[in-house]
A = this chain, B = another copy of it.
Amino acid sequence: MTVELISVGTEILLGNIVNTNAAYLAEQCAVLGLSCFYQTVVGDNEARLAQVLETALGRSDIIILSGGLGPTRDDLTKETAARVMGKELHMDEHSRKRIEDFFTKRGLELTDNNWKQAMVPEGAVVIDNDNGTAPGIIIESEEKRVILLPGPPGELIPMFESAIYPYLSKAEPGVIYSQTVKLCGIGESKAETMVADLIAEQGNPTIAPYAKIGEVHLRITAKASAEKEAKKLIKPVVKELKNRFGMNVYTTEENVTLEQAVVDLLLANKLTVTTAESCTGGLLAAKLTGVPGVSEVFKSGQVTYSNKAKHRLLGVKKHSLGKHGAVSENVAKEMAKGAAVSSRADVAVAITGIAGPDGGSPEKPVGLVYIACSVCGKVKVKEYNFTGNRNKIRESSVIAALTLMRHCILEYYSALLSAK
């Protein structure tokens, strides 16, 4: 089956935002085994949108439109799609109630234009929006399916995951099944070289590497008549990849992130953790506390941006700060040790570096970062040289810290085991 993406939004046409929704949807459709030959962007203009939708209906089986479902007069994706598909709009009481609740709960004033979002085309499937007020809509007509999704990625992605993905997975006969082997602590080129032979000979399943900041994901995809068969095809490949990449594999579960894997490792070993951050300014703590259930292991963290704060809150020696500078192996080590002592956590991670754009020097350039990790008193420090802007350097530092934590915990326990 073929799928076509239509993104509706003047902001995209004006180049104010990058069309990340299209990339997300395209990737998901590829996973689902749907062929995508066209993506179009069009503005909030009824005539042009209708024309684009008609063209798409003429050449593709499934059309996914995103954006233009807001409450304002500008937003006319739903109205246009209903007209092109020959459907009347009517008030959906369930959606109306949800919108009312949404506003009441937040103590916000409901204005008349909000009710527009509860109008749905006759016979359409309505998908609840847990992160906003515009419901998603599926219109089925003869052999075509038109799917309308809200534009904000924070609404579109959860809705696609929970409702549209399962819906589309039934659309294509036979199944496409994927599993991802997620790696940390290894570069993209090295990872690719290590599976080059497998990729060269591949048929079904296929292996595709995807590079993320500080991570590499290897996605294995199999086509089969049933999920059970597809899983059977994938199993030996996952096993082979686990053999080749060993400790660099942090999960083979789709929904497990690196921070989740680290939190799981802490939970499994009943270890508490604390953070002491300089250049990342709370980003590592924020990443860890993004994991539900983290309160079992994470009790407190420190953001020590100034030298004074490093000394006062973590007990970093003034002498070390003066002699080696705040961005140094010594200070990273003392930060981790100090954090462990003051918080009494089993694991303490400290990050100090130069995120830029200013503050660099020939000896200590922007991107130089030291990360220390203490596990039950045993401290390890690593030096990193990251590239990119402030944001990229901070993100890279957080992923490196998670990778180092994982490594240190695993190493600690394997040393314990071999000592027995």
Residues of A within 8 A of B (CB): 10-20, 22-30, 36-43, 45, 48, 52, 55, 70-74, 102, 105-111, 113-114, 130-132, 152, 154, 158, 178, 187-190, 192-193, 199, 208-211, 213, 219, 275, 277, 279-286, 288-290, 292-295, 298-306, 308-309, 312-313, 343, 356-358, 367, 384-392, 394-395
Contacts and interface: CB of A to CB of B under 8 A. Distances in A.
B313 A305 contact: no
A73 B206 CA distance: 14
B300 A295 contact: no
8 A-B pairs with least C-beta separation: A281-B289, A15-B27, A282-B285, A15-B26, A282-B282, A300-B309, A301-B303, A39-B41
A356 B290 CA distance: 10
How many copies of this chain sit in the oligomeric assembly? 2
Contacts of A280: 286, 289
B394 A290 contact: yes
Contacts of A356: 292
Contacts of A211: 70, 152
27 contacts: A13-B36, A13-B37, A13-B38, A15-B23, A15-B24, A15-B30, A16-B210, A17-B23, A18-B20, A37-B48, A38-B42, A38-B48, A71-B188, A72-B192, A105-B367, A105-B387, A109-B187, A111-B189, A111-B190, A113-B192, A114-B189, A132-B388, A280-B286, A282-B301, A290-B390, A299-B305, A300-B305
Contact of A102 (B36, B154, B313, B387): B387
Given A213-B154, A299-B309, A43 B37 contact: yes
B289 A275 contact: no
A395 to B, nearest CB: 8
A26 B12 contact: yes
A14 B26 contact: yes
Given A131-B388, A303-B302, A281 B288 contact: yes
Contacts of A388: 130-132, 154
Contacts of A72: 188, 192, 209
B15 A106 contact: no
Contact of A299 (B55, B306, B385): B306
B39 A13 contact: yes
A300 B313 contact: yes
Main secondary structure of the interface of A (DSSP, over half): mixed
A36 to B, nearest CB: 5
A131 B305 CA distance: 25
Contact of A275 (B16, B48, B303): B303
Contacts of A11: 210
Contacts of A132: 388
Nearest to A210: B11
Contacts of A158: 389
B18 A19 contact: yes
A131 B389 contact: yes
Contacts of A219: 16
Nearest to A113: B189
Contact of A190 (B109, B301, B312): B109
Contacts of A109: 187, 189-190
Contacts of A285: 281-282, 285-286, 303
A391 B107 CA distance: 21
B37 A14 contact: no
Contacts of A18: 18-20, 23
Contacts of A131: 387-389, 392
A18 B17 CA distance: 11
